[in-house]
Chains A and B, each alone.
Chain A
Amino acid sequence: MERTITSEQVEPIAIGAGVLGTGGGGSTYLGALWLRETIKRLGSPRVIDADDLADDALAVSVGKMGAPTVSIEKLAQGDEMANAVRGLEAHLGRRMDALLIGEIGGSNALMPLICGLQLGLPIVDGDGMGRAFPELQMDTFSIAGLDHHPMALGDSHGNVIIFHKLDSTHRAEQYARVLTISMGGEAGLAMPVVMGAQVKQTLIHGTLTLAERIGRAVLNARRAGSDPAEVITAITHGRVLFRGKIVDVDRRMVQGFTRGRMRLAPFGGGAEMVIDFQNENLIAYRDGEIVATVPDLISLIGLEDGEPIGTESLRYGLRVAVLGMPAPKELKTLRALEVVGPAAFGYSEVLFTPMAGDLL
């Protein structure tokens, strides 16, 4: 069913995207500002369900690729993503019928809404991750074996580069990174192109609505003075793993990615929690025992305000609730776990023990 997103819905979506970002995905502040400005100028983005797409319809996922430090300084021209989509249309000799969200966790949840307004295209409610992940191939489209090509990157001068053929996810990621750096550290990315029938099979359905429900619940909890952690886990079928404060954060850079470990102490004594992260939170331990692992979602929120906390803002003394939320079922197949399970992040000895239930 088609509906529209109004300016008033931007804040809850941004908060929900932050919660689903599991510590990664980047700040939604500038993205939300940009989306509100775009809505002021161009009206409300249209959102449809995957089932509304014809089987032979054509859709493409769009977002921004690059370094967060660059994105806060070299603000976008604005048409980078739209130009990439137009480039793919020219290459394929066919117009797109809809846009897809590649990653619902973090700022890239908002980019397709902006691009959809610019191109007059609807956005499909759902995404390829159900959370945030650090690399291109960690999505349900890749897991399903869909081609990465054609892929397009757009810069802020209106240049578009089309990848006609890409033989592996590894090289798609590698080439896209090199070009993004040469484009000034940030680019608009359009990939993969997916047929309507495949969208229905591979997309994690309804995650945009889920993000909005989470954000709205957080805002309501803030107003009512109730516990944001409980309302979020009620919506996401998860549970509150821990409440306490961060007592130690240890980070280092490994090949362009932040890797780290944080330690949390409970209020009033008891077993500590340790969480390993690589941009996103990966594994939570309590008393040395694993209590949650990727791809299940481990998110930190402010204990009282429910504000999602990114791994870049972790510091001693923050009062947080740690939420464990089961991954969407699409990420828990054997094939998916090879790409997004603990081993994919270097934890070959850790077995994925899923939390009960599914995200939605």
Chain B
Amino acid sequence: MDLTVKINDRTFKNPVWVASGTFGYGEEFKDFIDLEKVGAIITKTITLNAREGNPPPRIVETPSGMLNSIGLENKGIEHFAKKYYPFLEKLDTRIIVSVAGRDKDEFEKCIEALEEFSPDAIEINLSCPNVVHRQTKHKLIAQDPETTGEIIAAVRKKTKSILIAKLTPNVTDISEIALAAEAGGANALSVVNTYLGMAVDAEEMKPILGNIVGGLSGPAIKPMALKVVYDVSKKVKIPVIGIGGIMTGRDVAEFMLCGAAAVQVGTANLADPAAHNRILSEFEEYLDRKGIKKATDLVGKLKKL
């Protein structure tokens, strides 16, 4: 069975990756799964300088999902390079570093700082719902096609690494943003980041999250995420990486049938630190059962009703 996926010149051993922010810096999960079976590890988003994150509570469970408002807490790029990258670098799998910035300038500086250790790919997080972005009248960069295109084009000039733009579904027409990212030079798109939401405690008459609002993830968003993948993959020529509530091998297949070249397992990692390896083997069983020899043969192969 051939599970490999190609994005530009890079081959990934399988299409089941892990999503940024749900897998720490990989090391946290080494006791529970074989990290080298992960198609690509996407790190928790790092920023140029340390960020404190949002006030607690930062997470709350909702029906078949969860809301988070972590707020990109991280210790900055230098700390990442010293403390976390050496472990990741030794793993025999692809490492994708997720970065975020408040504006173009900060994104550029981040990419420059990453150049010394040339990761396999960089995911540009334009869509964290829990932080304030500058340079756009919108709350999130990826709500603004112009700024999205501008930032991708700017970082494109700074690196030869594969660039993946991570987009938000909290827009009227995501295709417009997807096309802007593609035009800016992105090599792939990750869709979707979380859906904005909130949770309320009626007894206390208060919001539950410290940040009041947060991002919804988990199986609750899967139907919406599938639709985004289905729509966007028909509009752009670059590969689309599907994210949104993947809990089983069959979910992986659903996203690939809708047009995803690969997927990222997110919230499932938080429910079960051993989730990834289970989902991958379920996906292999699915392919086997369907008599599919190449995983990529599934991509966009949704049959007509």
- A and B: real partners? no
Q: Which residues of B contact A (CB under 8 A)?
A: none
What is A's interface to B at a CB cutoff of 8 Å?
A: none
